[in-house]
Structure formats: C-alpha cells, structure tokens
Structure 1
Amino acid sequence: MRRKPSFSWRQKLITISLLCLMIPSIVTLALTGLYTKNELTNKASIKSEQSLEVADLYISNIVRDMLNAFNTLQYDSEFITNLRAAWSSYNKNGGSQVDFFAFKPVSEKLEQLTFFGGQTYVTILLPDGLIFSNYSTYQNDLSFLYSEPWIKQMDGDPVNTTNWIGAQNNYIRSTADRYPKLITVVRSFRLFASSPNAYMIISKPQEQFNEIFSKYAEDQTIMLLDEQGTVLSQSDPARIGSQVPSSMLYPGELQNLMWEGQEYIALNHPLSFAGWSLQCLTPYRIITGRIGNFLNDIFVFQALFFVVFSFVLFYLLRQLTKPIVQLVKTATRVELGNLDERSLVTGQDEIGRLGSSFDRMLDRIKEMIQQVEWEQGRKRMAELELLQAQINPHFLFNTLNSIRLQVRMKGEVEIAEMIGSLSTLLRMTINRNNEYLTLHEEAGTIEQYMKLMNFRHLENVQLATHLASDTLLAMIPRFTLQPLIENAYLHGLRQKHGHITVSSRMQGQYLYVTVQDDGIGMTVEELAAVRAKLMEADQRIKSAKERSSQINGIGLKNVNERLRMIYGDAYLFEMESSPGNGLKLTLRIPITFRKEEAGHA
C-alpha cells in the first residue's frame, strides 16, 4: 500500500504565513467594497442624468426644427400652389421637363430654409418621378427613393403620416464620403385630393446628433436608439445600425451590465417622439479611478503587511529552495557532459524524494549509454560484413566493364554501348545507399534504360528530355521516372516507333515533372479505371525484396503509392489522355535540394 505523501514543516509554515497575510487584505477590501458601492452608484447616476438631459435638449431642438420645416412647407399655400403648377407642367410635357417659371419658386423656397444644427437635406418626391431638393442632384439619380420599402409602406398609411426612418446610408453622392449615415424623417401629403401621395424627406447627417455626445461627455458613451434598440447615432460609426441588448431599454433604471466585454453603469432616458431614447454608458473602470485617493490609503495599509511578512517568507523560501538550487547546479554539470555528478539531496519530503529520483535517473542513463555503445560496436561489425557482401556486385560490374572494353576494341561499338548501359542500370538497381537522386541523375538512368529497350525490341523510340535548369539538382526518389517510361514504352507505344518526352519546371514550392508519349492513348472508361486502381487505399505495397528483384514489376500503382507515403498530401499525380493522342502523366512533389532533406520531406 502506497503511503500518502505528507506536507513538510516548511510547507505548513508557508501556508500559515500566507493566510496571515491574506486575511487582513481580504477583510479590508470587503469593507472598502461595501463602503464604495453606494457612492459609485450615486455618482454615476447623477452624472448620467445630467448628460442625458443636455443631450435630450440638443436632440429635441434638432428634431423640432425638422418638424417645423415640414409644417412650414406643407401649410404654405403659395408653396403648394407652386408645386401643383410645376407638377402640372411636368405632366403636360410628358414627364420630360418642367417649366422654368414653375420650377424656380419651389427651388428658391427650399434654398431659403434655415435649420438648427447645420447641414440639412430636403427632398420632395412628387408623383410620376418629379423631384425637388435643396441640394445639387447633378449625377445623382434619386428615382430609387420611390422604391424604398418605407415609401411603399407609407402608400397604405393615411395622408400626413410622419415616418421616423432613423439611420440610413447617405443617398447624396456629393457628401456620402463626409457623412456616411443620415437620420431621416418622412411625411406624406397630396397636391390634390384625388392625386397619389407625395413625400417630404428631411435628412440630417448623423454626426450632428452625436456632436453633443463627444463634447459634453468625453468619459461616457451616449447613444441614440430607436424603439427596437437599434443604434441610430453614436460617436463610433462602426456601432451605428447594431442592436443593443433588450436589458438596456428599461427607462429611468440605473443598472450594471456587461457590453462588448466591458462593465458599464447604464441609464436609459426616453425621448418625447417616435419611441426613441438616449442610452448613457459609463465605464466602471473610470468611476473607480475617481476614488483612487481613497484606495491609496488601503494599498499603503496592505503594503505594511507585505513588508512584515516578506521577511518571514524570504527566510522560509530560502530554506526551501536550497536543495532545489543544489539540484539545478547538478543538472547544469550533467548537461555539460559530466554524467558522474550526483546531487546527494535526500530527505522524506518532496524535494528529498525528487533528489533521490534524479540521482537514480542518472545511474540509469549511464547504464543506457553503455548499452548503446555496445550496440553501436555490433552495428559497425554488421556494416563490415555488409561491405564484404558487396564484393560480388563490384566484381560483376568490373567484369562487365572489361567485356565492354574488349568488345569495343574489336569494333563492336553498339554492343559495347549496350553493355555499358546495362552495367549502369544494374549498378543503380543494386546500389541501395542513395534512396534519393538528383533529377539530372534520374534522367541519365532512363536514357540508359531507353537504349536497352530499343536494342531489345529492335525499335527506335525517341526519348526527349526538357529539364529546366533550376530543376536539375532537385532530389527525387530513385526509380521514379523509369516505371513511367516503361509504361509509356510498353503500353502507350506498344513497343513501336514513337516519341516520349520528359519535362520539368519549378512552380512555387513544388517540382512538376511531366512524362508524355504520342501512343494510342486511352478512352474515357479506360482512364477512369486506371485512376480508380491508383486511388485504392487498401492495395498492399510490394515488399522490398520484390521491388529489388525486378524492375518491370514496379508499375504506375506502386510509384504512386511510394510517392504518396513519402510526401503525403503535398504529392499530386495527374493523368490526361484521349484515344490516338497518347498519355500525359504529371507529378507534383515538394522541392528538396539536399539528400538529408529529401529523406524527411
């Protein structure tokens, strides 16, 4: 039965000291929180109410000014008479133009209007597409306003209905960059009792509404909301059009809430029109900053406790860390290579057990190093035996070279070249030291292979290599191209006269190698069948013994599987073919230039 580890006297003493240090701090902070909670709430409430009253007065003046403009225009009989004359002349001319003398009084009346707060846009939409405004409409087609949803909705409302549209995108091209959002109010009216509805649209830049927010309450966030809680105006343009939580819409109720990851004290103030309201948010961190002097006294009191107990803790920690320091020094010396070093830290507490375990671990490591050295010696002996086993292949290569020289001396140049190609190919097949070759070396191998195949089948298949200069030193697995050439020779050209082309290029971080023949090609069904075989994940890879015993047994499938295992998803194999147009194979593999990197690709 394992004994449950017990706390050492050092741990107990440190725990008691920390409790003595924390208890006064916790009590002090608790009393401070109770005292300041009501004070913070009262200050935030008074400040928020003052800010909202000023903002209410300012915004009410703006809205009252907009409503007065509606009344001034709608109930001005002369202005309405001029509108009727302009509309009549417009319809009389087939909707193409307005009589100048009918147009001028309306435009002058709109231009003479003055508004509180600055720039104001007035637009009058008469039936049949006649539009008047107090701003330039050059290159600004306003006909889309007739199809706005709020216009269509007002067609069914009673005449003289006022619709508070709220915030919308600026429809005036000349000022859209400076004022992205407008606050819009619309009222319907009629020129004649039986005529369709006409509309007066008054819009103000949203910036006029939030101007008072930033000037009067720099440390507060004030927003103008509609009755659904949509932000109509705010100092941050990114928040316009966003939706606030429904908990913010309770009027006159001070509350603490989290919004956008920050704590606020919030107060909602309803306005007297359209169900709109003002929302004031005061960051809690700003309020707490205002009572910093009061909290400083508390921090000083706490600092005294920390000073007293820090000396006690320092002494205790020094006693506790002394064996740990000894362990660190021992580990440093071991890191420098001195495996005979030991910490000699003992004891019944955790540090003592750690020191004993550390020393036993060093003993075990030393034993393992001795075991590895013994195994390395055995491995070197095995390598010597393997080197001796290579004498026979070297004897075979030297014999073939001697035969080639004798045949060449007798004038049989072609046979001598075939023996040289066979020797080169055999050397590449038997040699397993280099699993990866440069693309240039692999191209040399397939050239020797093509010579042997043409000699064997008494054909003259042409092999052309077009390798980009920056790809010649790229590393690829041995015998990557030979099976593809073999497939093109035996199955594409049917061992008949033809052409095989090998090309390469770099693109990004990948090497693209293409093998193309001008043989019989494949039908769509045949191509699909080959692709299906290549995609079968449950095909077993031939053993290394089988791959080394016969070159022709590798095949497209095994090449594809071998490259897929080496490069994973970075590898790509594509096939293109049609009857009579040969077969085009494209390999995409990651670029590597050193053999050690290729092995880890």
Structure 2
Amino acid sequence: MRFPVFSWRQKLMITSLLCLVLPTVLTLVLTGLYTKNELKNKAVAKSEQSLEVAELYESNLMKDMINAFNSIQYDSEMITDLRVAWTKYKKDNTGTVDFFSFKQIAEKLERITFFGGQTYVTILLPNGLYFTNYSTYKNDLASMYEEPWLKKLSKEPTNTTSWLGTQRNYVKADAEKTPNLVTIVRTFQLYNHSPNAYIIMSKPEMQFSQIFSKYAADQVMMLLDEDGKIISHTNADQIGLTFKESSTGNVVMWNGLEYLSVSHPLPFAGWSMRSLTPYHSVTSKIGNVFNYVFILQIVFFMIFAIVLLYFLNQWTKPIMRVARTASKVEKGFLEERSNVQGRDEIGHLGSAFDKMLDRFEEMIRQIEWEQNRKRMAELELLQAQINPHFLFNTLNSIRMRAILKGEHEIGGIIGSLSTLLRMTINRNNEFVPLHEEVGTVEHYMQLMNFRHHEGVTLTVNLASDSLLESIPRFTLQPLIENAYIHGLKQKQGEISISAWKNAFFLLIEIKDTGVGISEEKLKEIKSGTPMSGIGLKNVSERLQIIYGEMFAMELDSTPGSGLSILLKIPLNAREGNGDAPSHSGG
C-alpha cells in the first residue's frame, strides 16, 4: 500500500491542525487528572490540619491523666495516708472504714484538677478498701475486684499502666448522662512485696469526641486503639466496633463507601487518630472546574489559530527560497545563495545559511592546511624521539668497557647512573618494595658524592619485616636530596635511613647531621604553614593523596643538630583496610 506524498505546505497545515486539536484534548485529560489529584491533596491537607489540632487535644487529655497518676503515686503524704488507712482496715477486720478519719485522702483527690472537665479517680487497695473523688452512693465498687482486666493486672509488675479503652460507666449517678468512659489503670504497691494496689482514671468518652464535632459535617473522626477498635466517635453506635478497611493509597472502603483516609499515631499505648472524608464530596467539584477549563481552551484555540495563520503566511515564501537554494547546493553548486533577508527567525536562517555556504570553501581549505601541518608535526616528532632504552644499553656498554680497562670507580658510577635511568624509564609499577627504593637511594648517593667530591655517609638500618613492604616509587630520593643539599649544604656529614613496623604503620625515619631547622620555622610547619622545601612538599602532598588522612609526616629538629623526618605509612591502606587508627597513635 502506497501512502500519498504530501508537500511541505500540506504537512505544515496537517501539523498545525494536530497542534491545535491534540493540545486541547491532552490539556483536558491532564487537567482532569491534575485537578482530581489537587483536590484530593487539598482534602488530605485539610484532614491533616484537623487531625493535628484534634491530636493535640487528645494528647493533652491523656497527658493530664498520666500526670494525675504521678501526682497520686509519687505524693509521699498520700502514700502515707493510704498505708495508715489500709493498716487500720486490716487491723479492725470489720470490712468498713471510718472515711471521716481519712477525709484528707478524699480532699486530695477532689483537689486534683483535670484538663477537659470531669474525671473519675478510684484507688483500689488490697482486701477491698477503696477511695474515690466521686460519690459512691448506690455504687458497689467491690465488684471491680472481680473484673477480668483487674485480675490480669494483679499478676503484672508494679507501675504497669494499662489502657483499657472504652467501657460502660460504673458511676451509676452519671451513667445515663455519660454512658461510656475511657479508662486507664496503673498498678502500685503500698509496701515492697505487698499485693498490687490500683489507681483507676476514667474520663467521659464525650470529652474525647467533642473535638470531632467542631469540624466539617462530612468529615468523620475517630479514636482507635492499637487493634483498630473504636474508642471514641461522634456516633456513639460506632464505639466498640473494629475499624476495618480496604485501602488503595489514601482512598479506603469503609461501610461500603469510599473515603479519603488520614491517620496520626498518638504517643500513648499505640492509639491513633483517624480522619475520613467522603471521596464523592471531593470529586464532585471536578465538574465545575472542567467547565471553566473548557471555556478557556476554546479561547486559547481561537487565539492560537489566528497567530498560526499569520506566521504561516510570513514563513512560506522565505522557507521555499531557502529550500531551493539547499537543493542546488546539494547538487554541487556551492556558489548559490538564498539572499533571504529580515529580522525574524526566517531572515536569520537565510542569512546564516548564506554565511555557512561562504565559509564552507574556506573551511575545506583550512582543513587541508591543518592536515598538512599535522603530518609535518608528526614527522618532526618522530624524528626528535630518542629511545630511552638505547641510552640505557649504551651506558651499560660504556660501563663494561670502563671496567675491562680497570676503571672500576668510573664503572660503578656509570652503573649507578644506569640504575637510576632504568628506574626512571620503568613506569610499569607505581609501588616498589622498600629495599628496592633504598637501593635506588644508595645509587643516587654514589652519584652525588662523585659530583661534589664530598664524603657524605649513608647509613641504612631496615628491619627484616619491612624490606618487602611496598611504598610509592621515588618517595625517599627527594628527602635524601633535601638532606644532602639543604641540610648538609653539600658538605661532609651523615644521612641515615631506618625502617620498622608496628601493628598498623610502616615507619621510615630519615636523619641528617646538617644545620637543622629553627624552632620558630618548625612550629610554623607543624601548625599547617606550607613547607618551603620542594622535596618535602611534593612527598607530603603525594603520600597524602595516596593514603589520605591516615598518612602523617613528622619533623623534629634543632639548629645545628640536623633534621629528623618520620613517615607513617598505613599498612594495607591501598587494599582498603579501614581498621588502621589515626596517625596520632604513633
């Protein structure tokens, strides 16, 4: 099947129509998705704000009950009064107690103030003695001792706090007005090893749910325990039920309806706050938004069509002229020009196209000239190269001929020079064994003594276990050169190299018997002032880059007594051993 061939004008018109229609459709679709997500996010943010206030209120209620526990349990006078009452109650063995004799206990309970209003406080002592801050008329609190939760708590350690959640109101005088209570119980002991006593705090459930009614009518709030059981709800019929949901992101199914769900944990007993916003109330607002968007799209469509027709008229002729010029250039007519002028984009395009053609021939000539220069430079470079191995082999030949003629000293000097040359041209290994690096230094000292006719003595003392330890090439030679030239001033003296190991470091010490460094200069170097000696600076910076902060260079000197340089190189640092300590450990 052959497809029709369209001219660029037809393609431009088709593209223009697509550019008008497709953005409109895509914008409507994307706007719908964005609007839906935006409304959803705003609803979630609103629920988050509501929950933050409600969470603060609920947390204050719980903290208030905890503080009441502490004010009773850790009040020494209260505990003393309770002990006296309990002792007298057991001693009388009558099953009753003269509450007027212990009215100070009741008065203290009544003086406790609570956030949020009414709070029922009950203190249950062993063997049936109890105190409250409410009237016990027609209340048989002895039945509390038979409650399953109390029997369970009797086996728990002292100071155990149990969050019972919601239960029926046990204060009969208020049961009709506030049928449900939110209760917390804590165990304590009057004496060591005595049976558990109990402090019971109960607040009407309405104190917890009253904050929920202050928000939007379509927003459902509830207080849940760690198992998802509803503790407090604006609808009393929901209290005691288990909140079960099937969720997809923030959208949950509950009681057959979709809700936007937001949850906040509370800092007590695994309880949490939950806010539910009907999902249909959020999505119902999208229709109005779509109407506004559709009208805006029609307006933009008309404006864009007018602008597009104008630019099509402006672009057609100049683009055709540039296209004809490009076609002729393709056939080899490099002298052809479009001569399109103007201040708009098409004018710049035509002018740039003509300038490109003007420079095309110039670039060809430039490339040919550069290629010729490049070939000449490569030839000159090949002619200027000297093979270092040729020099090395030539020096060895001269050395052997000097030895054969009896010039053993000259032969030794040439051998040392050959060894240094071989170490210089051999770049296969960045790291060499310590003994090989010291051997290079010994050859260097022979050459320096030969050059300056001075008897500088090199003493080497390497521990046997340090000989095969690897260090970077040319680590010691700059330090020996520094000692020879700046320390000994190229005069007689002694330079020593010592090396040994400890658990974490390879330690290399270079000493000389030269002029040393003044105390002020040494303090400046130790305080971080950049080193003036090029050898010292280069070695320090190079080893710092290789080994990082584990490497250290320590200098010790006094004027006239020479300089001591101690290198602390971490063992196995290049293998990534992270167990080495800092260099301060020595």
TM-score between the two structures when normalised by the length of structure 2: 0.44
Max radius of gyration: which structure?
2
With normalisation by structure 1, the TM-score equals: 0.43
